[in-house]
């Protein structure tokens, strides 16, 4: 973000702190929260319904939205404007209009929110970015109201449970990706919690999303249980709304994951519980055995596989 953005944000906080308490200030604070929630909902709607920024802008105009800046800023995104140009135009308007106090805060929150939407940020990430901009009293009011509203939390909790409980790995024993997927799955299931947390530090968030598409519900739960609830919900949300991924890409990322796990295990950085299944799979994956056909038949007896079918997962 432009350095001027942060300078202005600091100045706004100072200006607001000098506004006298009263009905007018309370109304302005409520309006800031209204706009804040509107941006979060817009971010969720674009992701959930697959709408373009331009489509959401039209809907807001038709419905007579109270948001002063969001529709216009979304229209700017529809013009394929670069983030730098978008920010430059917005900041130029900000200074030319001479916004102050809560009005200035609303404008900058809108700008920041739209930039996050343009980067396809998870709604949770958009929320975090905007919460950091709120004055302490407004932030506390929002957090208090959010904790009292169990509907959205319940929805995301259910989504997380669904992702945890999905069946076995989506590969048949005859599939090319079966061995590497089962090896990654078994290894994670056999790790203690500390080792899982260490492993996750070495894996990029986007790569982890792809890998988890090829894991069982048990392995996914092991990963979810060793991250913050908020990060786990973000991952579940991303898994639900991201585009289908080619099996070859899932296998490629799982192969990289296995390489990372093997290196960490060999160096004693992470530990795991040995099992007959894991040893069988590792023998095949590492090429330590030539009798692959017989080993695969043994694996069929060890595991009861579930196949999701199709070429995309």
Distance (Å, whole) CA 65 – CA 239? 31
End-to-end CA distance of the chain: 36
In three-state secondary structure terms, 279 is helix
pLDDT for residue 167: 55
pLDDT class of 269 with cuts at 50, 70, 90: confident
> For residue range 196-236, what is the model confidence (pLDDT) as tens digits?
899 889 998 888 888 888 888 888 888 888 887 777 777 77
pLDDT class of 152 with cuts at 50, 70, 90: very low
Check whether domain 167-302 has CATH 3.30.70.2750, yes or no? no
> For residue range 108-133, what is the model confidence (pLDDT) as tens digits?
999 999 888 888 787 778 888 888 88
The yes-or-no verdict on residue 141 having pLDDT over 60 is: yes
Distance (Å, whole) CA 33 – CA 65? 14
Distance (Å, whole) CA 121 – CA 100? 28
The pTM of this model reads: 0.52
The yes-or-no verdict on residue 275 having pLDDT over 70 is: no
Which residues in the chain are classed under CATH 1.10.220.30?
167-302
The mean pLDDT value of the chain amounts to 75
The yes-or-no verdict on residue 16 having pLDDT over 50 is: yes
């Amino acid at each position: 973000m432009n350095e001027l953005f942060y300078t202005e944000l600091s100045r706004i906080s100072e200006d607001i702190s000098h506004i006298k308490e009263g009905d007018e200030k309370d109304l302005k604070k409520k309006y800031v929260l209204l706009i804040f929630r509107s941006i979060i909902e817009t971010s969720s709607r674009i992701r959930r319904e697959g709408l373009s920024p331009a489509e959401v802008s039209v809907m807001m105009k038709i419905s007579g939205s109270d948001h002063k800046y969001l529709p216009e800023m979304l229209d700017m995104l529809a013009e394929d404007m670069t983030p730098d140009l978008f920010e430059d135009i917005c900041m130029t308007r900000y200074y030319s209009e001479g916004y102050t106090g809560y009005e200035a805060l609303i404008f900058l929150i809108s700008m920041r929110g739209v930039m996050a939407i343009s980067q396809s940020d998870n709604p949770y990430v958009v929320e975090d970015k905007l919460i950091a901009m709120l004055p302490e009293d407004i932030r506390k009011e929002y957090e208090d109201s959010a904790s009292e509203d169990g509907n959205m939390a319940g929805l995301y909790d259910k989504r997380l449970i669904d992702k945890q409980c999905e069946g076995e790995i989506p590969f048949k024993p005859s599939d090319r990706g079966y061995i590497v997927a089962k090896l990654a799955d078994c290894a994670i299931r056999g790790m203690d919690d500390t080792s899982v947390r260490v492993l996750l530090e070495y894996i990029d968030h986007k790569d982890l999303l792809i890998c988890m598409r090829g894991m069982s519900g048990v392995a996914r739960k092991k990963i979810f249980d060793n991250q913050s609830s908020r990060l786990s919900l973000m991952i579940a949300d991303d898994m639900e709304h991201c585009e289908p991924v080619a099996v070859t890409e899932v296998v490629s990322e799982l192969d990289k994951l296995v390489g990372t796990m093997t290196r960490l295990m060999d160096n004693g950085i992470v530990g795991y519980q040995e099992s007959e299944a894991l040893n069988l799979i590792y023998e095949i994956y590492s090429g330590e055995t030539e009798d692959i056909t017989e080993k695969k038949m043994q694996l069929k007896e060890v595991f009861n596989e579930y196949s999701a079918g199709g070429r995309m997962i």
